[in-house]
Amino acid sequence: MDNLNNYIEHTLLKQDAVKEDFEKLFQEAKEHKFLGICINPAYVKMAKDALDGTAVKVVTVIGFPLGANKTEVKAFEASCAAADGADEVDMVINVSGLKNKDYDFVRDDIKAVKIACGNVPLKVILETDLLNKEEIKKACELSVEAGADFVKTSTGFVKNGVGAKAEDVKLMYDTVSSHGLKVKASGGIRDKQAALNMIEAGASRLGTSSGVKIVS
């Protein structure tokens, strides 16, 4: 596959990232024509300025990485990101709410962020490392009901977590694709074969910090 760059959101979410790290990310995204970059929300404006005049999308994260912020805080964070120019927003679900089967709360949490995003597409991070198959399927169904645009596997921040697994991506795709949602695989995608496996399983986006290696 020659167009892997069109799937990749080149990712830098490290809390100790410095100016030179961001400059490198932006330059690599432009050089390899990655679909997008994914960064923390404090840096959206900087990214928009750096990537002005390019087709590279600026993607940011909300309620990251635990998903345990109050709904109102997540919604405010999303509205700020949209105002700063974010092209897409990736929010983390309330995993405890899902495990407690408090489905109305989880759905309303997603819906509030979706409303706050306005026209900005919303991805819902399920954190599949912490979920069983039934919970993954239910989280996908709640994302559909809440009006999300994508479901996403992982933050990449779970201790000893695997990240994206092809079997989970396939389950997510099978659950949401008929409703018009797409799947983003992220976490642990470090080489070309892993990327191809995720795409074959149904992913249309790949979140990875190994984008340059994957396309080289």
Residues belonging to the active site: 90, 152, 184
119 CB-contact burial (10 Å; exposed 0-12 / middle 13-18 / buried 19+): exposed
Q: Is the distance from CB of 150 to CB of 184 less than 8 angstroms?
A: yes
Cα–Cα distance between 22 and 16 in angstroms, integer?
A: 11
Question: What's at 68, amino acid-wise?
Answer: A
Cα–Cα distance between 117 and 153 in angstroms, integer?
A: 20
Got the DSSP string for 133-186? HHHHHHHHHHHHHHT-SEEE---S-STT-----HHHHHHHHHHHGGGT-EEEEE
Return the structure tokens found at 139: 């989280």
7, 15, 70, 101, 191 from 94: Cα distances, Å: 27, 21, 9, 11, 30
Q: Is the distance from CB of 56 to CB of 35 less than 8 angstroms?
A: yes
